Structure 1
Amino acid sequence: MTDTRRFDGHGVLVTGAARGIGAATARRLAEEGARVYATDVDGAAAERTAAALRERGLEVRAAECDVADRASVEAAVAGAADAFGSLDVLVNNAARCAPDTPAFEDDSDEEWALDLDITLTGAHRCCRAALPHLAASGRGAIVNIGSVNALQDYGNHAYSAAKAGLASLTRTLAGHAAARGVRVNLVVPGTVRTSAWRGREAALDRVRGLYPLGRVGEPEDIAAAVAFLASRDAAWITGTALTVDGGLTAVNTGFRAAVQESGA
């Protein structure tokens, strides 16, 4: 547990908070004094996460929220604002990532639409509902969770396109929200060890060798970046993307290894 308390008195809403990056973010912000509304489409799982954090003396409530449904989003935002008296931070973490089909032309409209609706439009719904509350707080901040898939080809066409759109939304919303005193930033994770990799540990171990820092990320690595961008330590930062990827997009490890092996 961190000794830093940058979020005393802050009301925070985190989407996709039942597990992985969302759960780690809820924990990190609560450890720093925030009152956290942990939401997820799986409301029971969100409650289990919140209950475990409450057992540690942290102020975390849970609610079901389907970011694909406007009414559900608006109810969650209103619930957080009512519970805490203000909403100061929104973390858009909910996402969907469908596997690619073997041939691009076999991609379905339905899978494409679902990835974009949850990953990109879902964040838009949350921002739209939360922005008046964030502006009223006087210290509002939005942190969107992006992906290195928006920067380079790592597969997953629809998810990658949605994350690229989220990066653009971050910039355009930052320009609009600045006059209202709200900062909007993006965290760009590389490979993170979450339940999405369960059963594929061998692949995760192979991926590790591509990272200059010698490991894949942990949810806590991303949560720490979110906490920074949401805090007053980042008071003069908006519209930016903070890449947290162990050096993956900065260094082509495979190319370097191939050159060194060839003696070139």
Structure 2
Amino acid sequence: MTQTIRPEVTPAHRAKTALITGGNRGIGAAIAAQFARAGYTVAITYRSGKKEAEDTVHHITHESKSSVHSVHLDLEREHTISPAVDEAIKVLGGTVDVLVNNAGYADMSAPEFMFISHEILTRTIQTNIVGPFLVTQAVVPHIPRGGAIINIGSCLGSRVPTSGLSSYATSKAAITGFTRGLARDLGARGIRVNEIAPGSINTDMNPQDGPSSDFQRASTILGRYGEPSEIASVAVFLASDEALYITGATLAVDGGTNV
């Protein structure tokens, strides 16, 4: 007999919790805000920009009336990952219903493969692959049955439209494999794992009026950049009861870039 895995009933006195890495700005901040609006207690992590993180926390708290916290986390310093995650779990009350691996690194300045430095490659792999792996290992024991993990990948993990993207595209393709493997490993625990693969999103790192914006806009079917809130809405959906039968999936939110 098959059995539908339902989330554990959250005690009336406890709000659901979400941990979002790299939640101080851009897509991460939008995801944090959306979960807070949905009534979650939220912890965001930041590598730099403590003041920016504090401002994000203040803004989301004021807007949503939910409890929001910030924790310093540098994915390039492996020995600090576990203590930082422990701190985040503590401020969330010991339980993480949703983990969003959003923090990432991108340096696309090299004109092509032979110009990608060892430093760029190392930082990319450490931040985009090793970091999320170690964060997830630290968080999984605190995710209840019915919880969810959401990895933020990229449309560049499956399509590389220009030269010089080898290191970044490699790291995001790895996230797809990580998502599928993790979904297989954690299915018996009742934890779902999915990936969101954004396309061109209007953030300070990739503004819709930036130097390559015309090319990126033309690469989409919809002819426009996406907004961080459009990624956030999908993240909250994937964490919801409406997505209980979705795991190991990659949802492209890219305006049709990869069609």
Q: Same fold (TM over 0.5)?
A: yes
Segment drifting more, 152-161 vs 199-208? 199-208
Amino acid corresponding to residue 13 of structure 1 in structure 2: L
SS of residue matched to 2:216: helix
Give the one of 162, 165, 180 matched to 2:174. 165
What is the CA-CA distance between 1:167 and the residue it aligns to? Answer: 0.6
SS of residue matched to 2:150: strand
After superposition, where does 1:88-107 map in structure 2 within 5 Å?
Answer: 88-107=97-116
Structure 1 residue runs of 4 or more that deviate by more than 4 Å after TM superposition: none
Give the one of 211, 224, 234 matched to 2:220. 211
Amino acid corresponding to residue 114 of structure 2 in structure 1: E
CA gap 1:152/1:234 in 2 versus in 1, 3 angstroms:
same
Equivalents in 1 of 2:112, 2:179: separation in Å? 31
What is the CA-CA distance between 1:138 and the residue it aligns to? Answer: 2.1
Amino acid corresponding to residue 41 of structure 1 in structure 2: R
Q: Deviations along 1:140-183, whole A, 9 cap, x unmatched?
A: 21000000101111342111100000110000011001111111
Give the one of 232, 235, 246 matched to 2:255. 246
Equivalents in 2 of 1:88, 1:82: separation in Å? 13
Q: Deviations along 1:100-130, whole A, 9 cap, x unmatched?
A: 4234223221210110110111110111111
What is the CA-CA distance between 1:235 and the residue it aligns to? Answer: 0.8
TM-score where L is the length of structure 2:
0.88
Equivalents in 1 of 2:79, 2:214: separation in Å? 41
TM-score where L is the length of structure 1:
0.86
Residue 254 of structure 1 corresponds to none
SS of residue matched to 1:188: strand
Residue 152 of structure 1 corresponds to 159
What is the CA-CA distance between 1:192 and the residue it aligns to? Answer: 0.3
Equivalents in 2 of 1:54, 1:65: separation in Å? 21
Q: Does the 8 A contact of 1:11 with 1:81 survive in 2?
A: no
Amino acid corresponding to residue 18 of structure 2 in structure 1: V
Equivalents in 2 of 1:152, 1:139: separation in Å? 32
What is the CA-CA distance between 1:206 and the residue it aligns to? Answer: 4.4
Equivalents in 2 of 1:77, 1:235: separation in Å? 26
Amino acid corresponding to residue 250 of structure 2 in structure 1: A
Q: Deviations along 1:208-239, whole A, 9 cap, x unmatched?
A: 23321221110011111111111121111111
Q: Deviations along 1:224-260, whole A, 9 cap, x unmatched?
A: 111111112111111110011111111xxxxxxxxxx
Q: Does the 8 A contact of 2:200 with 2:206 survive in 1?
A: no
Q: Does the 8 A contact of 2:207 with 2:213 survive in 1?
A: no
SS of residue matched to 1:187: strand
Say yes or no: does 1:193 pair with 2:202: yes
What is the CA-CA distance between 1:198 and the residue it aligns to? Answer: 4.7
Segment drifting more, 193-202 vs 102-111? 193-202
SS of residue matched to 1:217: coil
Equivalents in 2 of 1:67, 1:49: separation in Å? 20
Q: Which has the larger radius of gyration?
A: 1
Residue 229 of structure 2 corresponds to 220
Say yes or no: does 1:236 pair with 2:245: yes
Identity of aligned residues (%): 35
Q: Does the 8 A contact of 1:100 with 1:157 survive in 2?
A: no
SS of residue matched to 2:195: strand
After superposition, where does 1:115-154 map in structure 2 within 5 Å?
Answer: 115-134=124-143, 137-154=144-161
Equivalents in 1 of 2:209, 2:225: separation in Å? 14
Unaligned runs of 5+ in 1: 1-6, 251-264
SS of residue matched to 2:221: coil
Q: Does the 8 A contact of 2:116 with 2:167 survive in 1?
A: no
Equivalents in 2 of 1:170, 1:197: separation in Å? 25
Give the one of 16, 26, 39 matched to 1:20. 26
How many residues of Structure 1 are paired with residues of Structure 2 in the alignment?
242
Residue 174 of structure 1 corresponds to 183
Amino acid corresponding to residue 69 of structure 2 in structure 1: R
Unaligned runs of 5+ in 2: 1-9
